[in-house]
């Protein structure tokens, strides 16, 4: 599937982008680190490359990362790859095709995974500690009806389910999961006997899974420092529900609980509202999203950022659900408070800290990342990080609390 995405990128590149090369902007950042996790004896190697290629009508943003070691993984993704052309006289009136998030295109900025609109849109969570929002593959249109009032929409004939950190299920159904995989139960207790669970993923015809359409319709109204948005969309659920059947499997001289998992991606319909005042400190945006198919499901967030120094915005946010239930599974929206605070001590020495904490009763957890970056010469920096995770057994970050880490590496941007 990932190769499919790569194919789409290359195809787009050849067909649509070649004429615009002349005026292209190209930014690339390559980062290499050695990471030592508290849970593991030896350090792992980490390599990340972020590319942004942009012309007047075309934008490609790709992210590649790779981590070595038995529990490492790699990912190549393109959150945005689209060709856009304007029609009419107004700048806002445009049509795009490729991959993009209709709301992000309309806003002109990426959607944070820590907001109501982005939290369950996060289609790629492989880099579990740094989730981001992907776009749809299809086409979209936006039009300014009158000054400050726009409508926009998008249609996608393709559906790409979530790529979460792999569970690492081998042919025998044994788990060898990625470090940040959300593990299903690994054992079953029945009648005093503890059995390991073996999983078997059952996926129907792949084309039936991928060829599912999504439709987004939205409107935005901007007046002085206020901006209001309203939208509705329908799409298959990005994170699957699972239909499981369990049994006992006898292999050689052992008995396992065998769970056959069939991931289901039921269609969901959502409606959302947002309001932002850019004149207030941090330009706070209040977002609310309500499921129209599951009445009790909703998200609400208050998020803002303020750029004190160029390229180093302070971000703060609150994300939660209005009807939290103690029986829900851990989620980023478990009354999440986050803050990202970058500090430049000198031109060469920079520090940033990110605190993300879920405060929901019985699911309290936190992630605290501290990063120090020292630039030796232009575009080349050394980076040191300390990340601490903690929380209750069943909580968003607490499940990873053994994976505290330190890292040391370098970044080269050009």
- Closest separation in Å from C-beta 280 to another protein: 11
3-state secondary structure 266-315: CEEEEEEEEEEECCCCCCCEEEEEEECCCCCCEEEEEEEEEEEECCEEEE
Please give the size of the binding site for another protein, defined by CB under 8 A: 45
- Closest separation in Å from C-beta 389 to another protein: 8
Q: Is 390 in the site for another protein (CB under 8 A)?
A: yes
- What are the structure tokens assigned to 59, written together? 């934008």
Residue in 194, 207, 310, 327 binding another protein, rule: CB under 8 A: 194
Q: Which of residues 227-256 bind another protein (CB under 8 A)?
A: 246-250, 252-255
Q: Map residues 291-330 to x or -, x wherever contact with another protein holds by CB under 8 A.
A: ---------------x-xx----x----------------
Residue in 174, 328, 385, 404 binding another protein, rule: CB under 8 A: 404
- What are the structure tokens assigned to 28, written together? 């690339």
- Closest separation in Å from C-beta 365 to another protein: 11
Q: Which of residues 88-127 bind another protein (CB under 8 A)?
A: none
Q: What is the Cα–Cα distance from 376 to 374, expressed in whole angstroms? A: 6
- Closest separation in Å from C-beta 163 to another protein: 22
- Closest separation in Å from C-beta 37 to another protein: 9
Q: Map residues 40-79 to x or -, x wherever contact with another protein holds by CB under 8 A.
A: ----------------------------------------
Residue in 73, 303, 399, 409 binding another protein, rule: CB under 8 A: 399
Q: Is 201 in the site for another protein (CB under 8 A)?
A: no
Task: Please identify, using beta-carbon distances, which residue of 233 and 366 lies nearer to another protein.
Answer: 366
Q: Map residues 335-374 to x or -, x wherever contact with another protein holds by CB under 8 A.
A: ------xxx-------x-x---------------------
Residue in 6, 129, 188, 210 binding another protein, rule: CB under 8 A: 188
Q: Is 280 in the site for another protein (CB under 8 A)?
A: no
- What are the structure tokens assigned to 14, written together? 């050849």
Task: Please identify, using beta-carbon distances, which residue of 281 and 295 lies nearer to another protein.
Answer: 281
Q: What is the residue-wise DSSP string for 200-240?
A: EE----HHHHH---EEEEEEEEEETTEEEEEEEEEEE-SSP
Residue in 190, 205, 325, 378 binding another protein, rule: CB under 8 A: 190
- What are the structure tokens assigned to 148, written together? 């400050």
Which residues have CB under 8 Å from 129's CB, separation 6+? Answer: 180, 367, 369, 387
Q: Is 155 exposed, middle or buried (0-12, 13-18, 19+ CB in 10 A)?
A: middle
Task: Please identify, using beta-carbon distances, which residue of 190 and 205 lies nearer to another protein.
Answer: 190
Which residues have CB under 8 Å from 18's CB, separation 6+? Answer: none
Task: Please identify, using beta-carbon distances, which residue of 324 and 353 lies nearer to another protein.
Answer: 353
Residue in 25, 186, 323, 348 binding another protein, rule: CB under 8 A: 186
Task: Please identify, using beta-carbon distances, which residue of 39 and 323 lies nearer to another protein.
Answer: 39
Stretch that binds another protein, among 11-19, 114-122, 288-296, 389-397 (CB under 8 A): 389-397
Q: For residue 143, what is the DSSP state?
A: E
Residue in 4, 19, 70, 185 binding another protein, rule: CB under 8 A: 185
Q: How many beta carbons lie within 10 A of that of residue 84, not counting itself?
A: 18
- How far does Cα 333 stand from its chain's mean position? 13
Asked if residue 30 lies in contact with residue 49, where contact means CB atoms within 8 angstroms, the answer is yes
Q: What is the residue-wise DSSP string for 350-381?
A: EEEEEEEEE-STT--EEEEEEEEEEEEETTEE
Q: How far is CA 105 from CA 126, 130, 151, 315, in A?
A: 24, 21, 12, 20
Output phi, psi for 30, to 5 deg. Answer: -115, 125
159 three-state secondary structure: coil
CA-CA-CA-CA torsion sign (312, 313, 314, 317):
negative
Contact footprint for another protein (CB under 8 A): 38-39, 183-195, 246-250, 252-255, 258, 281, 306, 308-309, 314, 341-343, 351, 353, 388-390, 393-394, 398-399, 401-402, 404
């Amino acid at each position: 599937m990932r190769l499919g995405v790569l194919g789409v990128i290359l195809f787009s590149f050849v067909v649509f982008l070649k004429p615009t090369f002349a005026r292209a902007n190209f930014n690339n950042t390559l980062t290499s680190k050695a990471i030592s996790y508290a849970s593991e004896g030896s350090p792992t190697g980490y390599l990340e490359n972020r590319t942004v290629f942009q012309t007047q009508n075309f934008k490609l943003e790709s992210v590649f990362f790779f981590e070595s070691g038995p529990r490492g993984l790699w990912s190549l993704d393109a959150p945005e790859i689209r060709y856009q052309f304007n029609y009419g006289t107004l700048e806002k009136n445009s049509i795009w095709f490729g991959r993009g998030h209709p709301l992000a295109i309309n806003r002109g900025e990426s959607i944070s995974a820590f907001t109501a609109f982005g939290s369950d849109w996060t289609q790629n969570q492989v880099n579990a500690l740094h989730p981001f929002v992907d776009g749809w593959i299809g086409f979209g249109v936006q039009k300014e009806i009158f000054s400050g009032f726009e409508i926009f929409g998008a249609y996608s004939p393709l559906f790409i389910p979530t790529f979460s950190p792999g569970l690492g299920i081998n042919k025998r159904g044994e788990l060898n999961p990625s470090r940040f995989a959300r593990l299903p139960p690994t054992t079953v207790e029945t009648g005093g006997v503890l059995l390991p669970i073996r999983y078997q993923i059952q996926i129907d015809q792949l084309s039936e899974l991928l060829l599912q359409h999504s439709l987004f319709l939205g409107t935005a109204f901007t007046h002085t420092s206020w901006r209001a948005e309203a939208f509705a969309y329908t799409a298959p659920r990005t994170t699957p529900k699972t239909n499981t059947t369990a049994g006992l499997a006898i292999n050689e001289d052992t008995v396992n609980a065998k769970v056959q998992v069939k991931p289901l991606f039921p269609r969901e319909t959502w409606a959302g509202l947002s309001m932002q005042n850019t004149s207030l400190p941090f330009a706070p945006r209040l977002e609310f999203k309500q499921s129209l198919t599951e009445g009790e499901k909703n998200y609400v967030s208050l998020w803002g950022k303020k750029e004190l120094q160029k390229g180093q915005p302070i971000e703060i946010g609150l994300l939660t659900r209005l009807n939290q239930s103690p029986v829900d599974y851990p989620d980023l929206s478990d009354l999440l408070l986050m803050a990202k605070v970058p500090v430049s001590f000198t031109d060469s020495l920079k520090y940033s800290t990110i605190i993300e904490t879920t405060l929901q009763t019985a699911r309290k957890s936190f992630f605290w990342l501290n990063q120090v970056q020292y630039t030796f010469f232009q575009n080349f920096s050394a980076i040191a990080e300390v990340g601490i995770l903690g929380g209750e057994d069943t909580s968003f970050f607490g499940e990873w609390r053994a994976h505290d880490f330190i890292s040391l590496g370098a970044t080269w941007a050009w």
